[in-house]
Structure 1
Amino acid sequence: MDTHYIKEGLVEIEVPDFEKVSAKAPVFYNPVMELNRDISVAIINQYAKMVDHPISVFDAFGGTGIRGARYAKEIPGVESVMVGDVNPLAVEIAQKNMKLNDLDNVTVEKNDANILLQSNKGLFDVVDIDPFGTPAMFTQSTAANIRPGGLICISATDTSALCGTYHDPCLRKYGARPFKSEYCHENGIRIMLAFIARNLAVNQKYLEVLFSHSTQHYMRIYAIVHRGGKKTNESLDNIGFIAHCPHCLHREISYGFVSTLPSKCPECGCDYEIAGPMWLGSIWNKEFIKDTMDSVDDLQLNKKDELLKLFNQCYEESEGPVTFYDIHKICKTLKISSPKINDVIDEIANRGYFISRTHFKLTGMRTDMPLDELKQLIVDIKEEKLGPEN
């Protein structure tokens, strides 16, 4: 087997040569996911500072071992790491890479993630679920077996289901109905969080969401898991539905496990598209994001600039309302070309409303300005720029 060496963060690993990153490759290193791993290192590092005791980490889908090796070598608060994989070749390569980096606090196990979680109940402070596809079949084991106060880091790459391209897989895997819209990636994260919250609730546990993002082909959430029946019940109050009008872009939200939303838009009479159940609570913790950004300089991260840009965007939008507007979508409904987004943002701020850009979409604006006022503002800006004769 031909191999080559890769340096990332503070570790160097040996990986097999392969033509293309895909699920069919026996074992691969995905350079595109370096930002994902940098974010995870930064967040787990900040979490370790918060809990102020040595932590144990479970990397459920180890592959080459790059993620587990980085956790062990780069995060001072990590005492031990278990790397799991069902692929014997991956286990062999990961074990070799741990020796290559002199990591005697990392164990590599050949087994299914669910079995490893069940056989190590309550031993892990951090559980990282980063599968190729959906995390759905590993969520209940994670919920049942993570230590109370522990951190879950969960990725999903089945964005076509979560974003509404295919409805049936989302219903089957997450027990929710999606819809396609300009904010479908945000909806996907909210559907995923509601699914995780319901799995935790079975075990009288609940979420404290720290950070979430949608980047490239995947979505990822980070949350602390707490225990307590009363607070679990209160946490479920964050679950509900969103109704979206594809014609005029009006939207409504409804809390609860049964939608009380009308079937038609009250503004234009068109049929609503309704998605849920999904998480309608916060998907970011502003204070945690700031603390994480402040501690990034202590780490050696190749993607530090990209990480800080993403964190800054999420920090700015963290206290905004559920969902955002796409200026191009609004202008399409108005049958006008789009003005400069910064002109619109400045005017929204001048009127005293919340306003931020969003990392979910380059042309997105997160604001609590009523939609009718926002549409009129855009029209007014166009008329001021082009003149009333246009």
Structure 2
Amino acid sequence: DFPTEIVVEGDVRVLVPKLEAYKTKAWEYAPSKAPVFYNPAMEMNRDIAVLALQAYGRKVPHGLVVSEPLAGCGVRGVRFAVEVDNVEKVAMNDINPLAVRMIEYNIRLNGVEGKASAENKDANLFLSQYAAPRVRFDYIDVDPFGSPVPYLDSAVRALRNGGLIALTATDMAPLCGVHPNASLRKYGGKPLRTEYCHEIAVRLLIGSLVFAAAKHEMGVKPALAYAVNHYCRLYAFIRHGARRADESIRRMGYILHCFNCLHRETHIGIVPRLEWKCPNCGSVMEAAGPLWLGELSDEGFCESTVREAERRELKESKRIMRLLSLIKGESGGPATYYTIDKICDKHNLRIPPLKSVITKIREKGFKAVPTHFNSRGVRTDAPSRVVKEAVEESL
């Protein structure tokens, strides 16, 4: 009915829309124009999903039952069925009947008819069918075009106790503070346009999941979270129990930021007592939140995912390994990071090598590691004054 082509991704061959046929201008975003959604630029996202699911699957004593409620052409779900060892069943869904036909074709093309299935329903309706205790999923991957928030409620209800949820958010403009009201409406938290806005985006995403899960007396434990390119991605364990929900809410709070001297501080609590005056320069600070202030990733899960990456040959292997290594290195670090460029711009300094700045900060007795969020960023518990000194000493 429309132009298609066979592409190879990971270990699978899949039929996808021929995107060139829907691109009339060089700058057009073809995936959104095609009759069935397929975005080749998200291959690394899908690669990491395969690695994360395999890492999770090795710790689960039974065959995994997996769901992709917004499957598009089905490439992700088919890859799960083919590439992840202990996947027992992959339930895919899309509201677009053309997409379902394409998913069914791709299931047959890869010989996973016994493992994978496709339904043609609204995503929330599809997930709600699996909310009863004995039919829930071990893993749900919510990968929408835009925000995953409309699907959080039905997703957490359809996930078993201890299950893993994966979320993609591509609406980075609201999350990064370009449209703060949109972020407040969707994610229940206020962003800030700071140099670490991508981290704030991830923390707002986790925060929205915390509140969605808490309504059902479930707690959230992030396993792996990152932001690259035009999206942020979260893998989190959902654990049942009011106490766990309360524990998650206790890790919510606010980040105060001084746009004058770049000082920042965190305040735990939904209604904390905030001192708006910057202790460093006396300016009035601005707040982001409520958002998640706990760990963004679990070091053990990162390590397991790295091991899975080492076992496979993927197109983006080097990039994935570097990303996962940086995320692992950041585990246990403080909230927010500094970017060398911003400090240098603020104080009219030349930009020194990042490694040199990190060394200088460590010499002053503080922790400092590079961050995956920004290639010129440093995650450190040092105050802004010390970071500035380290930059100056590195010139």
Global fold match (TM > 0.5): yes
- Equivalents in 1 of 2:394, 2:322: separation in Å? 29
Specify the code of the residue in structure 2 equivalent to 1:116.
Answer: F
1:270 CA displacement: 2.1
Whether contact under 8 Å (1:253, 1:261) holds in the other structure is: no
Partner of 2:27: none
Specify the code of the residue in structure 2 equivalent to 1:375.
Answer: K
- Equivalents in 2 of 1:149, 1:344: separation in Å? 41
Partner of 2:241: 228
Partner of 1:297: 310
Partner of 2:5: 4
Partner of 2:286: 273
- Equivalents in 1 of 2:385, 2:71: separation in Å? 50
1:300 CA displacement: 4.3
Whether contact under 8 Å (1:84, 1:113) holds in the other structure is: yes
Partner of 2:119: 109
Q: Could you list the per-position Cα deviations for residues 168-206 of structure 1 after superposition, in whole angstroms to 9, with x for gaps in the alignment?
A: 110111111111000000000001101100110111111
Partner of 2:197: 184
- Equivalents in 2 of 1:273, 1:58: separation in Å? 40
| Partner SS, residue 33 of structure 2 | coil
TM-score by length of 1: 0.95
Partner of 2:88: 79
| Partner SS, residue 80 of structure 1 | strand
Evaluate the alpha carbon distance shift between residue 333 and residue 297 of structure 1 in structure 2; reply closer, same or farther with a 3 A threshold. Answer: closer
Size of the aligned set, in residue pairs, is: 382
- Equivalents in 2 of 1:286, 1:303: separation in Å? 22
Partner of 2:26: none
Q: Is the deviation greater in 274-283 or in 222-231?
A: 222-231
Please point out which of 144, 163, 188 is paired with 2:157: 144
Specify the code of the residue in structure 2 equivalent to 1:115.
Answer: L
1:164 CA displacement: 0.3
- Equivalents in 1 of 2:126, 2:210: separation in Å? 22
Evaluate the alpha carbon distance shift between residue 264 and residue 350 of structure 1 in structure 2; reply closer, same or farther with a 3 A threshold. Answer: closer
- Equivalents in 1 of 2:79, 2:178: separation in Å? 35
Partner of 2:319: 306
The runs of 4+ residues in structure 1 deviating greater than 3 Å are 297-300
Does residue 38 in structure 1 map to residue 57 in structure 2? no
Q: Is the deviation greater in 67-76 or in 342-351?
A: 342-351
Partner of 2:218: 205
Partner of 2:368: 355
Partner of 1:70: 79
Partner of 1:345: 358
- Equivalents in 2 of 1:301, 1:354: separation in Å? 33
Specify the code of the residue in structure 2 equivalent to 1:267.
Answer: N
Specify the code of the residue in structure 1 equivalent to 2:143.
Answer: D
Q: Could you list the per-position Cα deviations for residues 300-350 of structure 1 after superposition, in whole angstroms to 9, with x for gaps in the alignment?
A: 422221111100111111121100011111122222222222211122223
Q: Give the CA RMSD over aligned residues.
A: 1.3
- Equivalents in 1 of 2:35, 2:273: separation in Å? 48
| Partner SS, residue 63 of structure 1 | coil
- Equivalents in 2 of 1:3, 1:230: separation in Å? 50
Partner of 2:296: 283
Specify the code of the residue in structure 1 equivalent to 2:198.
Answer: H
- Equivalents in 2 of 1:303, 1:149: separation in Å? 30
- Equivalents in 2 of 1:320, 1:189: separation in Å? 15
| Partner SS, residue 150 of structure 1 | strand
1:162 CA displacement: 0.5
- Equivalents in 2 of 1:55, 1:99: separation in Å? 20
Q: Is the deviation greater in 19-28 or in 162-171?
A: 19-28
Whether contact under 8 Å (1:354, 1:369) holds in the other structure is: yes
Whether contact under 8 Å (2:17, 2:34) holds in the other structure is: no
Matched ranges for 1:92-171 at <5 A: 92-104=101-113, 105-121=115-131, 122=133, 123-171=136-184
Q: Could you list the per-position Cα deviations for residues 253-276 of structure 1 after superposition, in whole angstroms to 9, with x for gaps in the alignment?
A: 111112422233232222212110
1:25 CA displacement: 2.3
- Equivalents in 2 of 1:34, 1:171: separation in Å? 30
Specify the code of the residue in structure 1 equivalent to 2:354.
Answer: I
Whether contact under 8 Å (1:74, 1:299) holds in the other structure is: no
Partner of 2:58: 49
| Partner SS, residue 362 of structure 1 | strand
Partner of 1:336: 349
- Equivalents in 1 of 2:123, 2:31: separation in Å? 20
1:113 CA displacement: 1.1
| Partner SS, residue 313 of structure 1 | helix
Listed as ranges, the gaps of 5+ residues in structure 1 are 383-390
- Equivalents in 2 of 1:172, 1:10: separation in Å? 40
TM-score by length of 2: 0.94
Listed as ranges, the gaps of 5+ residues in structure 2 are 24-29
Q: Is the deviation greater in 297-306 or in 78-87?
A: 297-306
Whether contact under 8 Å (2:69, 2:123) holds in the other structure is: yes
| Partner SS, residue 127 of structure 2 | helix
1:236 CA displacement: 1.0
Q: Could you list the per-position Cα deviations for residues 228-256 of structure 1 after superposition, in whole angstroms to 9, with x for gaps in the alignment?
A: 11222122110000010111001111111
- Equivalents in 2 of 1:103, 1:245: separation in Å? 54
Evaluate the alpha carbon distance shift between residue 217 and residue 58 of structure 1 in structure 2; reply closer, same or farther with a 3 A threshold. Answer: same
Evaluate the alpha carbon distance shift between residue 352 and residue 262 of structure 1 in structure 2; reply closer, same or farther with a 3 A threshold. Answer: closer
